[in-house]
Amino acid sequence: MVDEELKREILKEIGKLSKELSLPIHSEHLAHLSDDMLQILISLKDEGLIGGEVVRIGHGRAAHRMTNIRLTYNGLKILHSLIPPFVRSR
């Protein structure tokens, strides 16, 4: 289970990066938030808060990274509930 405060911070960071970057967001953009970012992102994807593709490599098909990360409708709803309306328009 992902800590709720960390979950909020990750959603905020994805929202910020999606506004700032024209490149696809990937797990390395978020690595500074947690040492176990890939597993957290997979958990958020399983919860339906984010979308993205998990890149798997090797014979065991181990998860290597996540790319094309984006907020889903449910993730956007949570993000908008965290940020006051006057801050969102900036």
Domain boundaries, the chain: 4-88
Specify the pTM.
Answer: 0.83
Residue-wise burial string across 55-88, b where 16 or more C-beta atoms lie within 10 A, e elsewhere: eeeeeeeeeebbeebebbeebeebbeeeeeeeee
**Mean pLDDT taken over the chain:** 88
Is 80 exceeded by the pLDDT of residue 1? Answer: no
The dotted CATH code for 4-88 is 1.10.10.10
- Cα 51 from Cα 30, distance rounded (Å): 15
